[in-house]
């Protein structure tokens, strides 16, 4: 570790695979098949201009990594009314710390003490998805700037987009239409040309990288291994989901809820204060 340098390569343990083992991405359980992302068409993707073994897929978290809401608690501002409409209660959501969780997990845990199970939430996921997106559009469409892009994000994404080794996709706890709504509102949606994985797919975030990787391999017609994927996020759950899948983990210090020390305790492969220095970001990724 290089103390005092914003791009720190840590001594994180890489993934769950055995030493020297080169697994390809396996298909998810037949009980939870992976389908193409239905809500946002991805761009036709020709084979990348580098050998497949050199390719690295960047799986981006959204909130606290690429953007943030202009005020704390904005998520609850548009989610609580929807839960009250759909379930008759928002449970304990108002008092929960939700950073790093999937929307499915947040809603299920918020309503658990009211007698609702994960099954009840899944049964209503399409209604929830439609209403959450509509409510977020209403709140964000009142003329007030609701989300803001974090420092350096646009330039860093442009640099990575023009680099032949890197391709980007979203890996987020947001439900899919909400994820792309946020990206469209801040003008970042065109950077994410590969299919990703989203918060309505599992109540456990660590399930998402495998689902994203399966879609991406199918889309690119490649057989990329887990260590060719890099999860970039701002919470311990981002690091954990990378570890569980066998991917690399880069954590940024732009989230609201975790200190540098708390994040480094989770042993990411690298830590960045923010994404403001595109050259440093690229150097950090190249060293993984």
pLDDT tens-place string over residues 214-250: 999 999 999 999 999 999 999 999 999 999 999 999 9
Write down the pLDDT at residue 256: 87
Tell me the CB-side half-sphere exposure of residue 208, using CA atoms within 13 A: 38
The reported pLDDT for the residue numbered 93 is 95
pLDDT of residue 40: 56
Residue 251: DSSP 8-state: E
The tokens describing 184, both together, are 């469209």
Q: How far is CA 78 from CA 65, 101, 174, 234, 259, in A?
A: 20, 17, 13, 22, 27
Q: What is the mean pLDDT of residues 39-45?
A: 57
Instruction: Look at phi and psi of residue 88 and say left if phi exceeds 0, alpha if psi is from -120 to 50, else beta.
Output: left
Using the predicted structure, report yes or no on whether residue 3 has a pLDDT greater than 70.
no
Q: H-helix or E-strand containing 69?
A: strand 67-69
5-9, 29-33, 91-95 — which is least confidently predicted?
29-33
Mean pLDDT for 270-281 is: 97
Query: What would the pLDDT profile of 141-174 be if each residue is shown by its tens digit?
Result: 665 678 899 999 999 999 999 999 999 999 999 9
Report pLDDT for 43: 61
Banded pLDDT at 44 (limits 50, 70, 90): low
Mean pLDDT check: name the lowest of 45-49, 102-106, 252-256, 272-276.
Answer: 45-49
pLDDT the model gives residue 21: 42
How far, in Å, CA of 206 to CA of 30, rounded? 17
Mean pLDDT of the chain: 86
Residues 4-29 have a mean pLDDT of 48
Per-residue confidence (pLDDT) for residue 14, from 0 to 100: 45
pTM equals 0.84
Structure tokens at 140: 């964000």
């Amino acid at each position: 570790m290089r103390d005092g340098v914003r791009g720190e390569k840590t001594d994180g343990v890489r993934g769950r695979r055995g030493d020297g083992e080169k697994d390809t991405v396996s298909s998810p359980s037949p009980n939870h098949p992976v389908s193409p992302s239905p809500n946002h068409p991805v761009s036709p993707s020709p084979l990348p201009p580098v050998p497949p073994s050199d390719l690295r897929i960047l799986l981006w978290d959204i909130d606290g990594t690429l953007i943030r809401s202009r005020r704390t608690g904005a998520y609850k501002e548009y989610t609580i009314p929807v839960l009250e409409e759909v379930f008759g209660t928002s449970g304990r959501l108002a008092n929960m710390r939700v950073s790093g969780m999937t929307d499915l997990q947040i809603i299920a845990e918020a309503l658990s003490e009211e007698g609702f199970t994960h099954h009840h939430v899944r049964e209503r996921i399409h209604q929830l998805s439609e209403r959450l997106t509509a409510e977020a559009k209403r709140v964000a469409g009142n003329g007030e700037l609701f989300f803001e892009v974090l420092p350096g994000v646009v330039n860093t994404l442009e640099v990575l987009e023009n680099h032949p080794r890197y391709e980007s996709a979203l890996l987020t706890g947001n439900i899919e239409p909400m994820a792309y709504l946020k990206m469209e509102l801040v003008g970042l949606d065109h950077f994410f040309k590969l299919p990703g994985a989203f918060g309505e797919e599992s109540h456990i975030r660590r399930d998402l990288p495998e689902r994203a990787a399966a879609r991406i391999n199918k889309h690119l017609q490649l057989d990329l291994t887990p260590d060719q994927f890099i999860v970039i996020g701002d919470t311990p759950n981002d690091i954990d989901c990378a570890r569980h899948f066998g991917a690399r983990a880069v954590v940024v210090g732009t989230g609201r809820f975790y200190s540098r020390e708390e994040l480094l305790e989770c042993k990411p492969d690298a830590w960045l204060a923010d994404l403001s220095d595109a050259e440093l970001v690229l150097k950090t990724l190249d060293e993984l």
